[in-house]
């Protein structure tokens, strides 16, 4: 890649989370359904069947466009994209071409170099999904359950310059889709599919090189890997003076290489024309503004709130805004704990609490109700005032998680409170010194480090519940008395 720059744009197909399909009343939740059970004359493409647009899908697409900072077109229409393929019974897909629902906007990503930059967006439009082809050894089967499921196609500008940046873009997009509740964003289920446009040019060149499209990348790692491999291949061809022909390629996960599929159709080949069975889509300006007003605070704004109001680092803010439920939880816990405790509270959430949540992935966002935010704030306060050591508090948190009890109650009931009384520790220290005459003699002989061993024995004897500072003080005094 020496002397070359890679230029990447991404088209994503996003399955919109609706109950019914884009143009008929069939159920859209096809995952796990018996093949060809969610079908009707409309989504089977039978002659004479008429489409009716899904209002919830249009609303979700408008919400997404607004959240991305795009401009919503108040008057638009659907078009037929004509092509013949077995998964498209009608012989065309209802899509949008000339007048997409939304244009412009952008998505902020943090690149691998830690620098924030905005990837511009070209358009967002609505369309319907195709049926699914299932290739069996001797035949190909068709499942129409997916046919007609609502999709948003989101097309970026060619603003990315590496596989890592492309990956960061896809991650940020998925986070936003989930944040808005408009899609599951699950790449493994095909609810978020990426087609990557890639070209290379010599550093300093401003004209774009011939682009290659790599279709249907179904994981972040595949997108990054395919871009890195293809960039090397194209740079090698350019270096050798070979001609790059615009074409579509696939990604082979097993060999981690791209392979030729077909030369690219031009838009003309699709013979787009306005869908005659649907009237133009006219959106009321007041309705659009109501959707804008109803947008939740978005990840970037929530990160800024955590760094500015709560004095957390960029990294802490990023971790605590990984999804909307976590962000809401974190702010509730920070408010309950009050100023001054924000770092500690952030640490309890991103460390021990995430570990407990990760161990039970089936809970999903439900983990936030296992330990209420104010209960976590109480636990942090008990550590801050010295009632509990950190290690004991971790155990207390596990118990809070599994029983729903509060920290103070568990601490009081289970003899878990930190032992910080010097009388209680004095007795333990005397026992430890009596049991280990050799280290005591070493210390008296001038070997300072022997006291660390003795302190460790004190901590062990108390099951880690001794206040370490008090224990050290009591130990030092006891040893000093022996010297005297």
Taking the least distance from each CB to Zn ion, the nearer of 42 and 182 is 42
**Residues forming a β-bridge with 4:** 202
Minimum distance of Zn ion from residue 40's CB (angstroms) = 3
Within 13 A of 452's CA, how many CA atoms are on the CB side?
3
Site stretch for Zn ion (CB under 5 A), options 20-28, 47-55, 173-181, 468-476: 20-28
**Distance in Å, CB of 131 to Zn ion, minimum:** 11
Residue 150 or residue 225: which is nearer to Zn ion going by CB?
A: 150
Per-residue mark of binding to Zn ion, 36-65 (x: CB under 5 A): ----x-xx----------------------
Binding-site size for Zn ion (CB under 5 A) equals 5
Instruction: Measure the CA–CA gap between 19 and 57, rounded to whole angstroms.
Output: 9
Decide if residue 24 touches Zn ion (CB under 5 A): yes
Residue 326: both structure tokens together: 């976590």
Query: Given the complex with Zn ion, which of 26 and 109 has the nearer CB atom?
Result: 26
Q: Find the part of the chain contacting Zn ion (CB under 5 A) among 32-40, 74-82, 374-382, 422-430.
A: 32-40
45/120 with CB nearer Zn ion: 45
Residue 147 or 462: the one with the smaller Cβ distance to Zn ion is: 147
Q: In this complex, which beta carbon is closest to Zn ion, that of residue 42 or of residue 68?
A: 42
Scanning 24-32, 352-360, 398-406, 423-431 for contacts with Zn ion by CB under 5 A, the matching segment is: 24-32
Candidates 35-43, 230-238, 351-359, 410-418; binding stretch for Zn ion (CB under 5 A): 35-43
Contact region with Zn ion (CB under 5 A), list: 16-24, 88-96, 354-362, 452-460: 16-24
Binding segment toward Zn ion, per CB under 5 A, in 33-41, 163-171, 279-287, 424-432: 33-41
Determine which residue in the list 17, 26, 317, 393 makes contact with Zn ion, applying CB under 5 A: 26
Smallest gap from Cβ 43 to Zn ion, in A, equals 3
Closest CB to Zn ion among residues 147, 467: 147
Contact set for Zn ion, span 258-287 (CB under 5 A): none
Q: Which two tokens stand for residue 359?
A: 């161990």
Contacts of 158 (CB under 8 A, 6+ apart): 7, 8, 9, 197, 199, 208
Q: How far is the CB of 27 from Zn ion (least distance, A)?
A: 9
Residue 87 CB, shortest distance to Zn ion, in Å, is: 15
Q: Report in angstroms how near the CB of residue 141 gets to Zn ion at its nearest.
A: 19
Chain-centre distance for alpha carbon 22: 26
Contact stretch for Zn ion (CB under 5 A) within 17-25, 103-111, 256-264, 374-382: 17-25
Nearer of residues 144 and 443 to Zn ion, judged by Cβ: 144
Provide, rounded to whole angstroms, the least separation between the CB of residue 41 and Zn ion.
7
Give least dist CB 18 to Zn ion, A: 13
Q: Smaller CB distance to Zn ion: residue 38 or 312?
A: 38
**In the complex, what is the shortest distance from the CB of residue 25 to Zn ion, in angstroms, rounded to a whole number?**
7
Q: Which residues bind Zn ion (CB under 5 A)?
A: 24, 26, 40, 42-43
């Amino acid at each position: 890649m020496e002397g070359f720059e890679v230029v990447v744009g991404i088209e994503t197909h996003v399955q919109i989370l609706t109950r019914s399909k884009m143009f008929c009343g069939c159920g859209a939740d096809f995952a796990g359904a018996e093949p060809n059970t969610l079908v009707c004359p409309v989504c089977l493409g039978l002659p004479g069947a008429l489409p009716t647009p899904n209002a919830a899908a249009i609303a979700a697409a408008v919400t997404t466009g607004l959240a991305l900072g795009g401009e919503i077109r108040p008057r638009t229409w659907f078009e037929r994209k004509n092509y013949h393929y077995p998964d498209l019974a009608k012989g065309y897909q209802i899509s949008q071409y000339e007048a997409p629902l939304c244009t412009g906007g952008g998505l902020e990503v943090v690149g691998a170099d830690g620098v924030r930059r905005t990837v511009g967006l070209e358009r967002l439009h609505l369309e319907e999904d195709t049926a699914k082809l299932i290739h069996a050894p001797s035949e190909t089967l068709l499942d129409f359950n997916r046919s007609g499921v609502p999709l948003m196609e989101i097309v970026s500008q060619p603003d990315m310059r590496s596989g890592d940046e492309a990956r960061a873009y896809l991650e940020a997009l998925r986070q936003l889709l989930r944040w808005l509740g408009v899609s599951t964003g699950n790449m493994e289920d095909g609810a978020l599919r990426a087609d990557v446009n890639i070209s290379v040019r010599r550093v300093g060149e401003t004209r774009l090189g011939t682009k290659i499209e790599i279709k249907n990348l179904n994981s972040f790692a595949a997108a990054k890997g395919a871009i890195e491999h293809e960039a090397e291949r194209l740079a090698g061809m350019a270096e050798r003076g070979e001609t790059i022909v615009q074409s579509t390629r696939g990604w082979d996960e097993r060999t981690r290489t791209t392979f030729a599929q077909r030369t690219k159709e031009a838009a003309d080949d699709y013979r787009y024309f306005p869908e005659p069975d649907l009237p133009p889509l006219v959106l009321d300006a007041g309705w659009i503004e109501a959707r804008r007003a109803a947008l939740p605070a978005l990840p970037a704004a929530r990160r800024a709130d955590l760094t500015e109001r709560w004095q957390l680092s960029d990294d802490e803010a990023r971790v605590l805004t990984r999804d909307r439920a976590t962000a809401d939880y974190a702010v509730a816990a920070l408010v309950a704990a009050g100023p001054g405790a924000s770092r500690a509270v952030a640490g309890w959430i991103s460390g021990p609490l995430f570990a407990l949540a990760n161990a039970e992935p089936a809970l999903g966002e439900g983990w936030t109700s296992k330990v209420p935010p104010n209960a976590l704030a109480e636990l942090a306060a008990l550590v801050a005032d010295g009632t509990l050591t950190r290690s004991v508090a971790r155990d207390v948190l596990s118990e809070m998680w599994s029983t729903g009890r509060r920290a103070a109650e568990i601490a009081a009931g289970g003899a878990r409170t930190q032992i910080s009384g010097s009388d209680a520790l004095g007795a333990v220290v005397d026992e430890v010194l009596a049991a280990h005459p050799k280290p005591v003699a070493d210390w008296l002989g001038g070997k300072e480090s022997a006291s660390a061993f003795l302190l460790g024995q004190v901590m062990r004897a108390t099951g880690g519940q001794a206040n370490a500072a008090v224990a050290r003080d009591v130990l030092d005094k006891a040893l000093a008395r022996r010297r005297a």
